[in-house]
Amino acid sequence: MSMLVCNVSLGALSKGIVDGIAFLGEMFPPDFSALPDMIYPAVETIMISFLATFFGALLSFFFALAGASNISPMWLKSISRFFMATERALPEIIIILLLVAALGLGPFPGVIALAIGCIGMLGRLFSDAIEEVNAKTIESVQSAGATKIQVIQYVIIPEILPSLISNTLFRFEVNTRLSVLLGAVGAGGIGYEIFYSFQLLEYERATTAILVVLLLVFMSERVSDYFRKKILSNTKLK
């Protein structure tokens, strides 16, 4: 049944494989002369990812505060948690398409889309981290007369800092991958370069762009690993 629905046919598959191999042949060797053209889009991709992670983490933090049961009233918690769950359920590409429709093409809608895309995951993780802060510690600081904002500043933030940092760094890796995808729907960056090369049938150029993407993703992982280790080792027990 599912084979019928999906139009599965062994004939098409075998023909597809042959065509695929021929196509792969056209993609090689990579056209490295196009490399200088890739630098600007690559930087753009990284910048989109960086800004989106920064604003996304900030947004997520506020949603997390609203969504943590130990510092937020019940009604606010429900609203915030509902929003985060909805955002998590929507694939990023849908948010991107919605925002491209609303704000037009370009890197800026891309940044906004990715920043909003952070809320579902980061907001939830931050929120859970806040709920794990010892309720008695909060109570004791309040019993010295502190206000809620002071509790957030002096208890919540220091206690969840490791979680804030390591999850945000991880999200930076995810955003780097996503911003490539974003490029393909017109938000600029290296993704657009791949999309554009395919349309011009310049497959060798596309291969170069794909290699650059791989390099970017590897690099973002290395960088985030480096900072994670460095920052977390500072907060470890002495």
Partner 1 sequence: MIEVKNITKSTKEGRQILKGISFKAKKGDFIGILGPSGAGKTLTMRCLNGLTKPTTGEILITIDNQVHDIAKNKGKELRQMRQKIGVVFQGFNLVKRLSVLENVMIGKLGQINQFRSLFKGFNNEEAQKAYEALEKVKIEKLAKRKVASLSGGEMQRVAIARAIFQEPVILLADEPIANLDPTNAKKIMKRLKPLSEEMPVIGVFHQPEIASKYCNRIIALKDGTVVYDGNSDISEDLLMDIYGDELQEIENQALVSAPLA
State the residues that interact with partner 1 by CB under 8 A.
134, 136-137, 139-147, 149-150, 153-155, 158-159, 161-162, 235, 237-238
In the complex with partner 1, which residue's Cβ is closer, 1 or 149?
149
Cis amide prior to 109 (ω within 30 degrees): no
Between 86 and 235, whose beta carbon lies closer to partner 1? 235
In the complex, minimum distance from the CB of residue 58 to partner 1, in angstroms, rounded to a whole number: 16
Residue 232 Cβ, how far from partner 1 at the closest point, in Å? 12
Q: What is the nearest approach in angstroms of partner 1 to the Cβ of residue 233?
A: 13
Residue bearing tokens 């490399």? 35
Name the CA radius of gyration of the chain, rounded. 23
CB of 122 to partner 1, least distance (A): 20
Quickly tell me which residue has 């084979």 as its tokens.
3
For partner 1, give the closer residue by CB, 14 or 134: 134
Indicate the residue among 152 and 217 with the shorter CB distance to partner 1: 152
Which residues neighbour 188 within 8 Å (Cβ) at sequence distance 6 or greater? 41, 44, 48, 105, 106, 107, 110
Task: Specify the residue, 128 or 159, whose C-beta has the smaller distance to partner 1.
Answer: 159
CB of 102 to partner 1, least distance (A): 34
Q: How far, in Å, CA of 128 to CA of 197, rounded? A: 43
From the list 40, 64, 98, 24, the residue with the least C-alpha distance to 167 is: 64
Q: Tell me whether residue 11 or residue 238 sits nearer to partner 1 (CB atom).
A: 238
Q: How far is the CB of 134 from partner 1 (least distance, A)?
A: 7
CB of 79 to partner 1, least distance (A): 24
Q: Which residue's CB is nearer to partner 1, number 20 or number 158?
A: 158
